Amino acid sequence: MAYMIPETLPRGAKVTAGERLLFGTLKEHLPDDYIVYYEPRIFGRCPDFVVIGPDLGMLVLEVKDYTESTLYELFPEEWRIYNKQGEVSTVINPLHQARNYAFRIASKLKKDKSLVQLEGVYRGNLKFRFGFGVVFTQMRETHIVKHQLHRVIEPQFMLTRDDIKAIRYHLFPEVRISAEYKPPVHHDDQLLLSLHNLRAMDLHQEALARQLGDKNRLIRGVAGSGKTLILSARARLLSKEHPDWKILVLCYGIPLSRVLKSMIHNMTEEPEDLFDFAAMSAEESGNPAAKKHNIETATFHEWLKNTLRIPDAGIEPLLEKVKLGEAILPTYDAILIDEGQDFEPSWLELLSKVLNPETQSLLLVEDKAQNIFRRKSSLSSSTGLDFRGRSKILSINYRNTAQIVNFAWDFYRTHSALKDRVKEGSSVDGVEIIPPQSTKRKGPEPIIKQCANFNEEAAWVARAIRKLHEEKKVPYSEIAILYRVRNRYSYSYVDRLRKELDRLEIPHDWIAEDVHSKRAYDRTADTVKLSTIDSSKGLDFRAVFIVNVESMPFKFEENVEREVSLFYIGMTRAMEWLFLSYCKAQGFAGWLCEANQSKDMTNELKNLK
C-alpha cells in the first residue's frame, strides 16, 4: 500500500470522481515504499498527482474526467471541449500540462549535484528517470480509438479507465509512461528517492506537518523514518502560522540539538513554494530581522539550567510548588520533543506545566527501540493529555540501505528482551517496538573485520576511510567512527584511533570529547567525526565505523537491553557503508563472527589489506 499525502482526500466538489478513483487505486496497489502526492504545491500550481518510487523515479500525472461527449476539436497544442455549461472552451493539451510540470521540477532538481550524473554518456542528467502522462478516468480504449486521441497524445503517455485496473503493470517495473525511458544506470551512490536525499521530498515533511492538525500529537517511528525532519517542518509551520507564539523544541543529546537548530533555521529561511530554490535577494539576505524566528531550541538540561535555573534534583520540588500555587513558570504556546523515549516522566510532567493550556500544542516524537535509558513513562499520566487517536506510526526506514536495515534488525530481534513486544499497532502507553520496513535502495553488505589487536584495528579503520574518500569519493564529513568504551586501564582506544588518522593525514573531530566539543558540533565540517554511540543519536553519515565491538555489552552495565539498543542505534547511523570491527569474538562480536561465517559478506572493499 502506497504512502499517500494527504492520507485521505478532502470532501467536497473540488475533488473529482476520477481523482478519487485514481487516488484509491494508487494507494491500494502500489508498494509500501512508494509515495503519492495529491495536488502538491509547485511553482504556485498544483499538478493532480506526483508519484515517487525507488524503482520508478518520478511520475507526474494529470487526471481528466472527460467523456466522449466532452470532446469537440483536438489539436496538438490546444483542445476545444464542452464545459459543464455546454459551452465550447479552449484548454491546453493535458499532456503538455503534465510535461511542463515534470520538466520544471527536473530542471530545479538538477541544481542539486547529488542528484545529477557527473560523468558518462548521461552526464548532466538526473540519476533517476522522470516521466509524465494523462489519465482519462471516464474513457476506455475504444473511445481513444474512436476519437483518434493518439493523434494528439501518443499512446504510451495515456492511461484509460481500463488501464487503471492494471495500474501495477503500467507503472512498474517497465515504467510504460516515461519521458526519458532508458535502461537503468548503476551508480556507486545508488539513489533512493527518499526523505533524506531528494530536495523534493521536503514536500513530504511539510505535508505530514500539516496533517498533524492542532493540539497534542505523538509520532512513533523507526530509525531513519524522518521523525526529526517532520518535527522541524512542524516547528517551521507553527512559527509561520503563529508568529506571536513562543515555541520550544527540545531533545536529549547535544549534537542532535545543534542539528535541529540548524535544520529549523534553514527551513525558516526557505520560500513557501518548496520547489522554488531561487536565492533570496541581497536585500532580504542582508536584513537581520528577516532571519529572526520565535523558536527556542535546546536540550532538556540546557533549557532546565538556562530558563528555570534549576538542576535535575530541583524538578520534583518545583512541581510540588506548582501544585501548591507557590511557583510561577514560563509559558510556551507549542512544545516539540525529539527523542521522547529518553525523557523521564517528571520531565514530561514539568513540560506539560509550561504548555499553554489553551493551545495544548505538544508534539512528541519517539522510537522505543532507541530507548537507551529504559524510561518507564505513561504519556497520559505524565502530561495529562490524551494521545489516543492522535498518534502516527512511521515504519519505513529511508536512511539506510536494505542491507543495513535488515542486518541491524536481525541483531535487535535476536538480542532484545522486548522482541515479544514487537507490534504493528499503535498503542500509546505500552512498550511498542515497530519493525522497520526497508526501501528498495541497495548497497554493500555490512563489512565485518576481526583483528589481532586494537592497534591493527585502528590502522585498518584509517586505511578504509582513506580508501572510501579517495576511491568512492565519500567526503570526510560523511564518515563517523563510533565507540562504546573510550579507555581501558592505561590504554586509550580514542588516542590510538586519532594517531592512525593523523598518520594518514585524515582530518577529524572528536565531537564527544567533552560538553564544549558537543556544543561545537558542525555537521558540515570536512572532518571525520569520532563519537560515542550515545552522542550519535539522531545523526547519520554515509559511512559508519563501529570499533571494539567486543566491549558490548559493557560488563559494568547492569541493563543489557540498553546495550542492545545502543548497538542498534550505532548501526542505523550508516546510510550506505557500515564497518564493524573487533579483536575478540565475545559479546556482540560473537554474533558478528557467526554472521560473518554464515553469510557471504562480499563487498567492494573486501580485499582491503
pLDDT tens-digit profile of 161-186? 877 766 644 444 333 333 333 333 33
Question: CA 311 to CA 322: how far, in whole Å?
Answer: 16
Q: Are residues 451 and 571 in the same domain?
A: yes
Which H or E run includes 589?
helix 588-598
pLDDT-derived band at 377 (thresholds 50, 70, 90) equals low
Query: Would residue 18 count as lying in a domain?
Result: yes
pLDDT-derived band at 582 (thresholds 50, 70, 90) equals very high
Query: Would residue 183 count as lying in a domain?
Result: no
Report the side by side order of strands in the sheet with 158-159. 3-5, 35-38, 49-53, 57-64, 130-136, 158-159
DSSP assigned state of 139: -
Backbone angles phi, psi at 169, to 5 degrees: -65, -40
Contact between residue 2 and residue 26 where contact means Cβ atoms under 8 Å apart: yes
Query: What per-residue confidence (pLDDT) applies to 495?
Result: 94
Question: CA 371 to CA 412: how far, in whole Å?
Answer: 13
Please enumerate, as own/partner, the contacts of 415-423 that have beta carbons within 8 Å and a separation of 24 or more: 415/564, 415/588, 415/591, 416/369, 416/561, 416/564, 416/565, 417/560, 417/561, 417/564, 418/368, 418/561
Query: What per-residue confidence (pLDDT) applies to 307?
Result: 93
pLDDT over 70 (residue 216): yes
Question: What is the mean predicted confidence (pLDDT) over 76-91?
Answer: 87
Chain segment 476-520, per-residue pLDDT in tens: 999 999 999 888 777 899 999 999 999 999 999 999 888 898 888
Contact between residue 204 and residue 36 where contact means Cβ atoms under 8 Å apart: no
Q: Which residue has the cell 547519520?
A: 540
pLDDT over 90 (residue 213): no
- Last-in-domain residue among 390, 421, 452: 421
Query: What per-residue confidence (pLDDT) applies to 542?
Result: 92
Q: Which of 163, 103, 164, 170 is nearest to 132 (CA)?
A: 103
DSSP assigned state of 67: -
Query: What per-residue confidence (pLDDT) applies to 44?
Result: 67
Q: Which residues contact 141 (CB under 8 A, 6 or more apart)?
A: 160, 162
Of 235-239, 240-244, 572-576, 601-605, the range with the lowest mean pLDDT is 601-605
Which H or E run includes 529?
strand 528-532
Express as a percent the part of the chain with pLDDT over 70.
77
pLDDT over 90 (residue 425): no
Q: Are residues 408 and 450 in the same domain?
A: no
Pair type for strands 334-337 and 247-251: parallel
pLDDT over 60 (residue 428): no
Question: CA 406 to CA 372: how far, in whole Å?
Answer: 21
- Last-in-domain residue among 421, 455, 484: 421
Query: Would residue 429 count as lying in a domain?
Result: no
Chain segment 295-319, per-residue pLDDT in tens: 999 999 999 999 999 999 999 999 9
Contact between residue 225 and residue 398 where contact means Cβ atoms under 8 Å apart: yes
* Type of residue numbered 597: Q
Contact between residue 57 and residue 128 where contact means Cβ atoms under 8 Å apart: yes
**Cell numbers at 492, concatenated:** 586509550
Query: What per-residue confidence (pLDDT) applies to 107?
Result: 82
DSSP assigned state of 505: T
CB count within 10 Å of CB 315 equals 17
| Percent composition of the chain: helix, strand, coil (DSSP 3-state, to 5) | 40, 20, 40
Pair type for strands 391-394 and 217-221: parallel
Q: How many CA atoms lie within 13 A of 586 on its CB side?
A: 7
Q: Are residues 405 and 485 in the same domain?
A: no
pLDDT over 80 (residue 599): no
Burial grade of 481 (CB within 10 A; 0-12, 13-18, 19 or more)? buried
Q: Which of 307, 315, 311 is nearest to 335 (CA)?
A: 307
Q: Are residues 587 and 503 in the same domain?
A: yes
Task: Give how many domains the chain has, as a whole number.
Answer: 3
Q: Are residues 290 and 244 in the same domain?
A: yes
DSSP assigned state of 279: P
Question: CA 532 to CA 485: how far, in whole Å?
Answer: 8
pLDDT over 70 (residue 346): yes
Q: Are residues 136 and 214 in the same domain?
A: no
Query: Would residue 607 count as lying in a domain?
Result: no
Alpha-carbon torsion (273, 276, 280, 281), positive or negative: negative
Domain that holds residue 259: 199-421
Name the region of 43 (left: φ>0; alpha: ψ -120 to 50; beta: rest).
left
Average pLDDT for the chain = 79
Query: What per-residue confidence (pLDDT) applies to 251?
Result: 92
Q: Are residues 146 and 250 in the same domain?
A: no
Q: Are residues 167 and 204 in the same domain?
A: no
pLDDT-derived band at 431 (thresholds 50, 70, 90) equals very low
Query: What per-residue confidence (pLDDT) applies to 196?
Result: 34
Query: Would residue 522 count as lying in a domain?
Result: yes
**In CATH, what number is assigned to the domain containing residue 494?**
3.40.50.300
Query: Would residue 22 count as lying in a domain?
Result: yes
Question: CA 326 to CA 141: how far, in whole Å?
Answer: 76
Q: Are residues 452 and 544 in the same domain?
A: yes
Query: What per-residue confidence (pLDDT) applies to 279?
Result: 37
- Last-in-domain residue among 151, 171, 191: 171
Q: Are residues 243 and 159 in the same domain?
A: no
Of the segments 80-89, 149-158, 242-251, 375-384, which one has the largest average pLDDT value? 242-251
Query: What per-residue confidence (pLDDT) applies to 399?
Result: 76
Cα Dmax for the chain: 89
Contact between residue 457 and residue 488 where contact means Cβ atoms under 8 Å apart: no
Backbone angles phi, psi at 546, to 5 degrees: -110, 115
Q: Are residues 218 and 159 in the same domain?
A: no
Query: What per-residue confidence (pLDDT) applies to 200?
Result: 35
pLDDT over 70 (residue 146): yes
Q: Are residues 375 and 487 in the same domain?
A: no
Contact between residue 439 and residue 222 where contact means Cβ atoms under 8 Å apart: no
Express as a percent the part of the chain with pLDDT over 90.
26
Q: Which of 471, 537, 503, 482 is nearest to 339 (CA)?
A: 537
**Cell numbers at 389, concatenated:** 487517536
Query: Would residue 92 count as lying in a domain?
Result: yes
Query: What per-residue confidence (pLDDT) applies to 190?
Result: 31
Query: Would residue 136 count as lying in a domain?
Result: yes
* DSSP H helices in 252-378: 254-269, 282-285, 300-303, 315-323, 345-353
Contact between residue 601 and residue 447 where contact means Cβ atoms under 8 Å apart: yes
